[in-house]
Structure 1
C-alpha cells in the first residue's frame, strides 16, 4: 500500500507538470509553426501526460480494488484522460494544432481543480459507499464520462468555429478587394479565404460527428442512471439537480442534432447551439456541485 501511495503521488505531480509543459509548448508551437523543437516537445509532453494519467487511474484501481469513479475527484481524472485521448484522435483527422491549444488549457484547469480545489479527503482511496456497490457503477458513470468528453470536445470545436469565423470576418473587413489591388495580392487574399473556408468546413463536420457520437452515450448514460436509481432509491427519476441538468444538457444537444438533421442547418447557427452546449455541460458536470446536496451526494462538494 505504501508503494502504491508513493507511485500515486509521483504520478499526480508528473501529470500536472507534463500538462503545464504540453500547454505551454503547444501555444508556442502555434505561433512558431516551423519550429520542430516545440512541435516535438508538445507531442511528447502531450502523450506523456496522457500515459501518466492513465497509469494514475490504474494505480487507484489496483489500490482500491474498484473502478476509480466513486467520487468527483476520480471522475475528473477519468474525464481528463478521455479528453486527452479524444483530442489526439481528433488531431489525426483535423491536422490542426488549434484543437490542442484549446483542449490542453481546459484539461490543465480541470486537473488543477481536481488536485488543488477539492477537499483532500476526496483523493484518499476508501471503500465504496453502499449506494455505489453495484455493477451499474462502471456502466453508468463511465458512459456518462465518455459522453461528457466527446460532447465537450465537439462543442469546443463549435466554439473554435465561431472564433475563427469572427477573426476571418475582421480580416476580410480590414483587407477589402479593390480595382487597384495587384493580381498577386488578389490571389493571395482569395487563397487565404479558401483555406479559412476549408478549415471551417472541416471543423464544422467534426464538431457534428463528435456531438453525434456523444449524444447516444449521454442517452445511454441517463437511461442506465435511471435504472440504477430505481434499484438503489426505488424511483427512476427524482428531479435531483444532477438529473435535471443532465436532462437540460440532453435537450440542448438534441436541438443541435435536430437542426442539422431536420432543418438542414450548418455552420454558424449550429455552432452557436454547440457553444451553448459547452457551457451547459460544464454546469451539469461541475456547476451543480456548488448549489447544494442532492441524491448524488458522493459527487458534491461539502
Structure 2
C-alpha cells in the first residue's frame, strides 16, 4: 500500500501541474480504488484470522484511518471531479501507512487477545465511527488549510498586480482573479460540507463511547485524556459550523478554526496515546 500511495501521490501532483494529460486523472482514480481494495482485504483477513474487528491497536487503527481517507476521497472525487482532494489527502494516507508499516515495532503490529473491556460489539461501532469521523474531519480541515494558502496568495498577487503600467486593470489579470475567487469558494464550500458530514459522525462516536464506557467501567464520562480531547475536538468543530452561520464570520475566519481543528484531531488521535495513560491505553487503543 505504501508504494501504491507514493505512486498515486506523484500521479496527482503531476496531474495538477499538467492538466491536459487526461489519462493521469483516470489513473489516479484507479490507483485510489486499488489502494482502498488492498486495505479492505488486509482488514478483512485480520478480522477473519483474529475473530474480531481489527481496531484493537494503533497499527490497525492507522490502516483503518487510511482506508477511510481513500474511501471518502473516492466518493468525493466522483461527485466533484476535483483532483485537489486527492492531492492533499494522499500525503496523509502515505504518512499513516508509512508510520504504521515502518515506524511501529513488530509487536505493535501483531494482534493480541482482547482485554475484557474490549470484548464488546461496541468495539466495532464506537471505534469505526470515530475513525471515520477523524478521516472526514482531517480531509475537511486540509481543504480549509488549502483555502487559507490560496487566499493569501490571491491577495498578495492582488496587491502586486492590480494595475498595469498604465494604471488600468489588466483584462487577463481580471479573468485570473475571478477564476481564483471561484476556486476559493469551491474549496471553502467543499470543506464546509465535508466537516458537516464528519461532525455528526464524531457526535455519534462520542455518544456510543459513553454508552460503552458505562457498560465497561460503570461511568458514562471519566474525563479520561482521550475523552477530554474528543470533547475539545467536538467543541472546535461545533464552533466552526456555528461560525459559518454568522455572516461576519465568513471565509478566512472559519477556515482558521478548521485548520486549528486539524491539529486538535491529531492530538486527540495520536498525541494522547503517545502518553500511554488513561482508560484508552490498551495496546495504544484508539
TM-score for the superposition, normalised by structure 1 = 0.89
Corresponding position of 1:157: 143
Any conservation in 2 of the 1:150–1:213 contact (CA below 8 Å)? Answer: yes
Deviations 1:199-248 (A, max 9, x none): 11111111111111111111111111111111111111111111111011
Any conservation in 2 of the 1:289–1:299 contact (CA below 8 Å)? Answer: no
- TM-superposed CA distance for 1:299, in Å, is 4.7
- TM-superposed CA distance for 1:37, in Å, is 4.5
- TM-superposed CA distance for 1:181, in Å, is 6.7
Corresponding position of 1:218: 202
Structure 1 residues 85, 120: CA separation in 2 closer, same or farther (over 3 Å shift)? Answer: same
Corresponding position of 1:127: 113
Higher relative contact order (CA 8 A, sep 6+): 2
Corresponding position of 2:228: 244
Any conservation in 2 of the 1:86–1:150 contact (CA below 8 Å)? Answer: yes
Secondary structure, in 3 states, of the residue corresponding to 1:296? coil
Deviations 1:142-179 (A, max 9, x none): 11111111111111111111011111122222322247
Kindly tell me the number of residue pairs found equivalent between the two proteins. 285
Secondary structure, in 3 states, of the residue corresponding to 1:286? helix
- Root-mean-square deviation (CA), in Å? 1.9
Give the distance between the partners of 1:296 and 1:188, measured in 2 at CA: 57
Corresponding position of 2:277: 293
Unaligned runs of 5+ in 1: 1-14
Any conservation in 1 of the 2:108–2:283 contact (CA below 8 Å)? Answer: no
Corresponding position of 1:11: none
Moved over 4 A (4+): none
- TM-superposed CA distance for 1:264, in Å, is 5.8
Any conservation in 2 of the 1:152–1:281 contact (CA below 8 Å)? Answer: yes
Corresponding position of 2:219: 235
Give the distance between the partners of 1:220 and 1:151, measured in 2 at CA: 14
Counterpart check, 1:21 vs 2:7: yes
